[in-house]
């Protein structure tokens, strides 16, 4: 009797597994780009029908709209515009969109909420990689790295000259951080090691605990701009921060100030930055983000000696990108199994 019961239980469990596998195999997931090696192998072994753009370029818009039809999951990149057209093309089957980024301003959240589609992203994992790069930009802009490298390559490097390529140090200087989230705090901690004496920050709310750990003061934006030697943008792009760095903002900064943006290009009114750099309202700028991306090679910013531009590589470490890929997979698998997203937005 016991043996019969065991056999029946085993058969039921096997049938359940077969049903689960069969149902997964009929479920479609679209990925707009290949992931890194380890996370890509994991993605391919999930068992669902995977439709993926295999090239090292953005998935063409018309192909995305065609391929997403009937999909239950979508893994996208920051460069993909996920709007109402995409949601409508997917149809009612779409359960989750997971973006391989910490930002999600490229996704139409209002339509997603209306259609009850879960949105996943990759928070926290980018903190160290982006903070490292932000500090590199601050150092490079402060010490004229662009001009110095060019001088070494073109033969301008001649005899020692007292004032040639002089930049700015960090000891006893003030750092201003716009957006004191995880990345902003990580940047401040790193720059404190270079001698930064005081940290000012502006954002959505005050964080009293930062006074003890960073000697950081929550101040109005105008005070931050006027008093800081280094101004770093680490904020999300929101209606409150859109083009917050305009000509008036740059006019308030010290003429010796260095401005660095590793947040989003949209927090800067770019024509105003060009004007401010040309007029020497600030000493220099370092940018990992621009508007648009990629920035046209003939753009005025590239022609300025006091502006250093990188191609949005804040999260570009193997460690960060592999983890980001895994987080996207975790989000999609959870949604297909009817579970809450482990890295999902809360509407």
Q: Give catalytic residue positions.
A: 312
Buried/exposed code over 309-346 (b: 16+ C-beta within 10 A; e: otherwise): bbebebbebeebbbbbbbbbbbbbbbbbeeeebebbbe
Q: What single DSSP character describes residue 302?
A: G
φ, ψ dihedrals at 133, nearest 5°? -70, -35
Take residue 154 and report the two structure tokens written for it: 């073109």
Q: Which residues pair with 51 in a beta bridge?
A: 30
Backbone angles phi, psi at 201, to 5 degrees: -145, 155
Rounded to 10 deg, the angle between the 318-336 and 37-44 helix axes is: 20
Tell me the C-alpha distance between 186 and 172, whole Å: 19
Q: CA–CA separation, 82 vs 79, rounded Å?
A: 9
Q: Alpha carbon of 212 to those of 182, 215, 234: distances in Å?
A: 16, 6, 21
Q: Is the peptide bond before 69 cis (omega within 30 degrees of 0)?
A: no
φ, ψ dihedrals at 217, nearest 5°: -115, 135
Alpha-carbon gap, residue 307 to 75, rounded angstroms: 34
Query: Minimal CA–CA distance to 232: which of 198, 271, 258, 194?
Result: 258
The number of residues in the chain equals 347
User: What is the spatial order of strands in the sheet that 118-120 belongs to?
Assistant: 49-52, 28-31, 73-76, 96-99, 118-120
């Amino acid at each position: 009797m016991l043996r019969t019961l065991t056999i029946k239980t085993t058969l039921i469990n096997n049938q359940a597994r077969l049903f689960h596998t069969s149902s997964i195999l009929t479920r479609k997931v679209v990925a707009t780009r290949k992931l890194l090696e380890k996370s890509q192998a994991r993605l391919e072994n999930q068992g669902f029908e995977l439709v993926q753009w295999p090239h090292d370029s953005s998935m063409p818009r018309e192909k995305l709209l065609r391929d997403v039809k009937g999909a239950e999951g979508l893994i996208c990149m920051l460069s993909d515009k996920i709007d109402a057209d995409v949601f409508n093309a997917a149809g009612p089957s779409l359960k989750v969109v997971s973006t391989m980024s910490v930002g999600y301003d490229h996704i139409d959240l209002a339509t997603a909420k209306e259609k009850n589609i879960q949105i996943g992203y990759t928070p926290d994992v980018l903190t160290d990689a982006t903070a490292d790069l932000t500090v590199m930009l601050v150092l490079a802009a402060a010490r004229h790295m662009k001009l110095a490298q060019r001088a070494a390559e073109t033969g301008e490097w001649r005899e020692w000259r007292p004032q040639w390529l002089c930049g700015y140090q960090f000891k006893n200087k003030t750092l201003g951080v716009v957006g004191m989230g995880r990345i902003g705090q990580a940047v401040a901690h790193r720059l404190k090691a270079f001698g930064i004496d005081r940290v000012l920050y502006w954002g959505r709310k005050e964080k009293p605990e930062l006074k003890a750990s960073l000697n950081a003061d929550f101040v109005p934006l105008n005070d931050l701009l006027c008093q800081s030697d280094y101004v770093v943008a680490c904020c999300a792009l929101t209606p409150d921060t859109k083009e917050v760095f305009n000509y008036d903002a740059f006019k308030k900064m010290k003429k010796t100030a260095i401005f660095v943006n590793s947040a989003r290009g949209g927090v800067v009114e770019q024509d105003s930055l060009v004007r401010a750099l040309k007029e020497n309202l600030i000493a220099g700028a370092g940018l990992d983000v621009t508007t648009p991306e990629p920035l046209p090679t003939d753009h005025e910013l590239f022609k300025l000696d006091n502006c250093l531009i990188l191609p949005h590589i804040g999260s570009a470490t193997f460690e960060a990108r592999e983890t980001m890929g895994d987080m996207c997979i975790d989000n999609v698998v959870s949604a297909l199994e009817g579970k809450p997203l482990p890295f999902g937005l809360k509407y």
